[in-house]
Structure 1
Amino acid sequence: MENVSMNDVSEPIFGMLFNSEQDAYDYYNSYGWVMGFSVRKHFLNKSKKDKMTITSRGFVYSKAGCWLSDKRDINTANPRAETRTDCQARMNICLVDDGKYKCCDFVKEHNHELHITSTIHMMSSQKNMLDIHRQEIDLTDDSGIRPRSTVELMGRQAGGIKNLSCLTQDVRNYLRTKRQRALTYGEAGNLMKYFVTQTRNNPSFTYSFQLDSEEQITNIFWADPKMIIDYAQFGDVVSFDTTFRTKKECMPFGLFTGFNHHRGCTVFRVDLLYDETVESFEWLFENGITHLGHMMKDGSKFLTDLKKCIYQYDVKDEFKTAWHNLLNEYVVKDMKRGNELKAEFDARNKMPRLANSMSIIQKQVRELYTPRIPECYILKRWTRGARTMVVNDSRGKEVEQDVNLDCTQRYKRICLELIQIASEASNTIEGYNLVKDAANELRLKLGNIRINPIDCPDILIFPDFSDNVYPGLRLKHKEKSTRGGRRLKS
């Protein structure tokens, strides 16, 4: 018998030929979609010569067979419902001489009611999560949308939930599997992978970690571009707090925080410490200070003189002399109070001159709003232009918070145009075929476009993260304590 097209699904008959075992399963599964039953694979026989070639295969309905009696049913409060009815509906295939498979047995009759059209998408064999569905699930999950709302959104886009090939539980299973695969490299490997990925996306991302004698990670710190920009703009007052701790290992979670021009809390840097000892804090401040930029960048003369002033003088008088010399050399001596008093005197001693003759109202306004705060004492961080300053990192390069901003804007504009085109093309078959052909041609042209390194001379190329990156690297764990739930003291 001639080969049957997969688009022409009809009742299988004895002698029907299929190109492969998978084609036979797809055909019988499509037939089950039309009739309203789910399909599962049954027995499998392979060739005795190569132990690889499938010689015969059976496909049955999901209700085929029956469960054996379970002795634990007596003690079960809510036993599971029966799902097997010993249905005999099946289709068996066997290998023929030309390498194709022939339908050698087919039973049509069922001993139960079949599913209706509106519930076919719930059957196990008919569930098939497409790539476009995975992309939408990833996007909604990153946006904080729950699986139930995700399925509702995709159902509306598909014209109804019955037109989807996945359910809410399938979305939850997909997300759980995705998270499990993300932990393939272990906790330390995944952390390093995250750092490498962020550095590849934006070279201004900064991180560092400390290893002990056993090559185990003890202390870590990291700062993304937004943290670096926020510190440059609002880092005049910084608070360091290690109150928070990880739940499992009780490791101190340090935060360098401050306030922005809206009185909102801003994070300047994040640290994960092994303990709160002097050695940990020394590494934290000495290695983490270089990413702050300005005079504190690594290799600067100010940083060298500051370390010399702190570490090389044991006598009190020598330290005070070196400290005053440092303040005078870099003009960072605190003269704010003296200047503030002088400005206060000038504000009360001098009156602002008006262009026109002063009326009674102008005199009253002058007396009411004078003295005023001098502009030299109004910090830029409290003004509307707080975000306008250009920030450079420790390497002297400008820090960009979102390096993909141009790409994101182009994506939004293209999406609006393509959605309008899809809406108009879906009204007619001719429009649909036209857009489909144009999309295929456009996809081929886009595949030939590559980034030219000459056009992007500043782009940094990082090696792909693999199992060979940081081999054997792991976090150093503390021994479990038998004490109560109070905070441990180092």
Structure 2
Amino acid sequence: MEVDGNGEHVVDGIEEQAFNETVDNDSCAVEVNDKEPYTGMKFGSQENAHSFYRDYAKVVGFGISTKHSRRSKASRQFIDVTYACTRYGKQRESIAQNPRPCLKVECEASLRIKRNCDGNWIVHNFIKHHNHELFPGYAHYFPCHRGINKAQKHCIENWQHAGVRTSQIYDAMAKQHGGYENIGCLEKDIRNHLDKGRRLALESGDANAMLECFMHMQEENPKFFYAIDLDDEDRIKNVFWVDAKGRDDYQEFGDVISFDTTYITNKYKMPFAPFIGVNNHFQSRLLGCALLSDESTHTFTWLMKTWLRAMGGKPPNAIITDQDRAMKASIKEVFPNTRHRFCLWHILRKVPEKLSHVLSKHRDFMIYLNICIYKSWSKQQFEDSWHEMVEKFQLSRDVWIHSLYEEREHWVPVYMKDTFFGGMSTTQRSESINSFFDKYVCKKTTLREFVEKYKVALQDREEAEMQADFNTWHKQPVLRTPSPFEKQMSMIYTHEVFKKFQVEILGLSGCRIVKEHKDNQVTTFKIFDFQKNEEFIVECDVSKEEISCICHLFEYNGYLCRHSLMALQAVGVFAVPPHYILRRWTKDVRSKHHKRKKKDVCSSKERYDHLYENAIELLEEGSLSFESYDFACHALEEALKQCVTINQSLKIDKEKVSHNNLHEKPLRDPQEKKTKGAPRRIKSGIEKGRKRTSNDKKKVRIFPLYQNFYNDLILT
């Protein structure tokens, strides 16, 4: 900065990047008619003058930059500005080995404006002539003519979140604007914009960036819930969040939950722990997510209590996890009346490790084990088969076998036949969600990036659900038999559930009644299933329309088995009784949630998309005549002023509201854990449970939906 002789401050212009490509052009003059500036021309502001000269330069084919400017010593406002061609000045001598090209040729083309007493800006001097070639067809390459507006930023970020590459984004924008020269930016500008956004997120700290993201998501929809668990050093230990859709889904599909923590996703190696439910299309639904620092009983207890509070205090009927001591203890404490089941697949995959000495001697051991697990139709039958197996293979002193038997009520199917599990016996639902997230994240993903990717993955899941809803309502499934049961349920069940029920219908042809016995109102049938090569007992009370099969398929999966259908036919019932039709499997269970009303809260993206559609219609109608054009312009100006006023008022109101205690001092990022691969989750019977230490006492800060809930949500 320099000071001139009159005491006024003069700011030297910053030289912009020169256009460094040589393009043949026979003409250095372009006719611009009324768009050409002239001495005495008046502008309402400096910005208007700059925009006018920049537009003129783009038409003619050169770039501009600020050569110098002057402020008033009294008011500190600009009063004199000179814009010049980017090729003004002399070439500089460089001693560098690889000097950058300099295209300075002492071009004198410029525009000088001064502010008068009434605040207007007047063109004091205009030099039109250039001493170099002009490039009107390549003007969009000059830095001064490039920029990304708000609408373009919104589209670019949406595409980037959806996984679209930068080159594809640039191509799509070219088609949208009618050519690359009309976009207003280059591909590298798009790349720089995305890189800048990532740098800003990292510079501010992952923890605080994630918190800001959560707050923004809650502003978009007040039903978004999140909680952050801190240690004594204000480092993040555990994070939990659930979106509005997940909370709504839980009300209909929260009867059975799958929970798994074997997925490590981010650079801090914090296990990703999703709560998974299954909807009426047998699709997995995210009912909450957490990033955990460890897998202790205290951490799981904090998570379960937080999740339960987010779901309105309504515990699930059943939950499936892997065989973990800490998890078992926390579930017993938080969900004392919930049926807890261990993942059967996780248990069976431990057999080669725990019983390698048995498998090496007895190749038929797995056959006996599978018969014991899957062919036992009563508790007594299982226990007899188990003891017989233990004695046959001399496993009475095996600690692991003993521990499995002690916990048989948590994993043996026959002990849970009276509990609805939605057809789930393993944590496969959680693991399918984990593999689904692999498309969006990697182990170097930051906390902020993970939450952003989570939103994209959630949108994909919701789209799949909407597609399934459409198919269910608008496409009739093909009937494969004349059975009245099949016709009845084809009108009620969703397609995926009906396909499973249809398997039972087709299985009727492979069943026959072996024996029938009637005792008062109850009729007992022995039905032989040729496909399973087994005999099943079915009891039917016609007066109460009650039926029960020893296979307990209805209790477990929620639809009647072929054996029950065979018995109903035998007693003259040809329609599934209403109390054997679970509402959660029907077509219309979600209809009330999918009919969004205008008054419902929508996200900023939904608001943007809605306004964008209306704006397109306005463009089409407003451009048809001068009258409609003038009216549209006036209406847009008034609407814009009103929106700016409203948003400024809301911003002021928010600033008046005191921030919660998380903003009193910044959060610290979690410490990176030194782990090798996924954590080992399955514990044997001889492994000891983790002990609580004095460090278990932590600070917990929860962010509920409404301010008056804050005190209630402090967990200790």
How high is the TM-score relative to the length of structure 2? 0.46
Q: 1:408 to 1:199 in 2, by over 3 A?
A: closer
2-structure distance, mates of 1:431, 1:231: 49
1:240 aligns to what?
Answer: 259
Alignment partner for residue 665 of structure 2, among 457, 467, 472? 472
1-structure distance, mates of 2:204, 2:658: 10
1:355 aligns to what?
Answer: none
1-structure distance, mates of 2:677, 2:283: 30
2-structure distance, mates of 1:149, 1:464: 43
Q: Deviations over 1:43-94 (max 9, x none)?
A: 5566889987676756232475446445443xxxxx97x4525353343748
2-structure distance, mates of 1:122, 1:373: 71
Aligned amino acid, residue 620 of structure 2: S
Q: How does 1:9-20 map to 2 (within 5 A)?
A: 9-10=35-36
2:287 aligns to what?
Answer: 268
Q: 1:406 to 1:441 in 2, by over 3 A?
A: same
Q: 1:213 to 1:94 in 2, by over 3 A?
A: closer
Q: 1:340 to 1:478 in 2, by over 3 A?
A: farther
Given the alignment of the two structures, is residue 110 of structure 1 paired with residue 104 of structure 2, yes or no?
Answer: no
User: How far has the Cα of 1:238 moved from its partner?
Assistant: 1.9
Alignment partner for residue 37 of structure 1, among 62, 71, 82? 62
1:435 aligns to what?
Answer: 632
Q: 1:18 to 1:106 in 2, by over 3 A?
A: farther
1-structure distance, mates of 2:545, 2:570: 9
Bigger mean CA deviation after superposition, 209-218 or 466-475: 466-475
Q: 1:287 to 1:10 in 2, by over 3 A?
A: closer
Report the 3-state secondary structure (helix = DSSP H, G, I; strand = E; otherwise coil) of the residue aligned with 1:261: coil
2:540 aligns to what?
Answer: 346
1:426 aligns to what?
Answer: 623
| Contact residue 127 and residue 166 of structure 1 kept, 8 A | yes
User: How far has the Cα of 1:126 moved from its partner?
Assistant: 1.8
2:86 aligns to what?
Answer: 61
User: How far has the Cα of 1:420 moved from its partner?
Assistant: 4.2
Q: How does 1:315-394 map to 2 (within 5 A)?
A: 344-346=538-540, 366=569, 375-387=578-590
Q: How does 1:64-213 map to 2 (within 5 A)?
A: 65-66=90-91, 68-69=93-94, 71-73=96-98, 82=101, 84=103, 86-91=105-110, 93=112, 103=124, 106=127, 108-111=129-132, 113-117=133-137, 119-137=138-156, 148=167, 150-151=169-170, 155=174, 158-181=177-200, 185-213=204-232
Aligned amino acid, residue 42 of structure 1: K
Aligned CA RMSD, in angstroms, stands at 5.4
Given the alignment of the two structures, is residue 486 of structure 1 paired with residue 660 of structure 2, yes or no?
Answer: no
2-structure distance, mates of 1:186, 1:434: 48
Q: 1:42 to 1:290 in 2, by over 3 A?
A: same
User: How far has the Cα of 1:36 moved from its partner?
Assistant: 0.9
**Percent identity of equivalent pairs:** 25
Q: Deviations over 1:409-429 (max 9, x none)?
A: 999888666644532432333
1-structure distance, mates of 2:161, 2:217: 16
Q: Identify which of structures 1 and 2 has the higher relative contact order when contacts are C-alpha pairs closer than 8 Å and 6+ apart.
A: 2
User: How far has the Cα of 1:201 moved from its partner?
Assistant: 3.9
Q: Deviations over 1:399-440 (max 9, x none)?
A: 99x942699999988866664453243233343224323444
| Contact residue 269 and residue 672 of structure 2 kept, 8 A | no
Number of equivalenced pairs: 414
Report the 3-state secondary structure (helix = DSSP H, G, I; strand = E; otherwise coil) of the residue aligned with 2:306: helix
Given the alignment of the two structures, is residue 217 of structure 1 paired with residue 236 of structure 2, yes or no?
Answer: yes
| Structure 2, unpaired ranges of 5+ | 1-31, 317-331, 337-415, 421-521, 526-536, 547-565, 648-653, 681-689, 691-716
Q: Deviations over 1:265-324 (max 9, x none)?
A: 222221111112232122222333233336549xxxxxxxx85997xxxxxxxxxxxxxx
2-structure distance, mates of 1:96, 1:420: 41
Report the 3-state secondary structure (helix = DSSP H, G, I; strand = E; otherwise coil) of the residue aligned with 1:238: strand
| Contact residue 545 and residue 577 of structure 2 kept, 8 A | no
| Contact residue 308 and residue 314 of structure 2 kept, 8 A | no
Q: How does 1:302-321 map to 2 (within 5 A)?
A: none
Q: 1:436 to 1:153 in 2, by over 3 A?
A: farther
Report the 3-state secondary structure (helix = DSSP H, G, I; strand = E; otherwise coil) of the residue aligned with 1:474: coil
| Structure 1, unpaired ranges of 5+ | 1-5, 74-78, 298-305, 311-332, 353-362, 391-398, 451-460
User: How far has the Cα of 1:189 moved from its partner?
Assistant: 2.3
Report the 3-state secondary structure (helix = DSSP H, G, I; strand = E; otherwise coil) of the residue aligned with 2:539: helix
| Contact residue 208 and residue 221 of structure 1 kept, 8 A | yes
| Contact residue 17 and residue 103 of structure 1 kept, 8 A | no
| Contact residue 216 and residue 473 of structure 1 kept, 8 A | no
| Contact residue 202 and residue 403 of structure 1 kept, 8 A | no
| Contact residue 228 and residue 238 of structure 2 kept, 8 A | yes
2-structure distance, mates of 1:211, 1:269: 19
2-structure distance, mates of 1:208, 1:88: 61
Q: 1:334 to 1:289 in 2, by over 3 A?
A: farther
2-structure distance, mates of 1:159, 1:150: 14
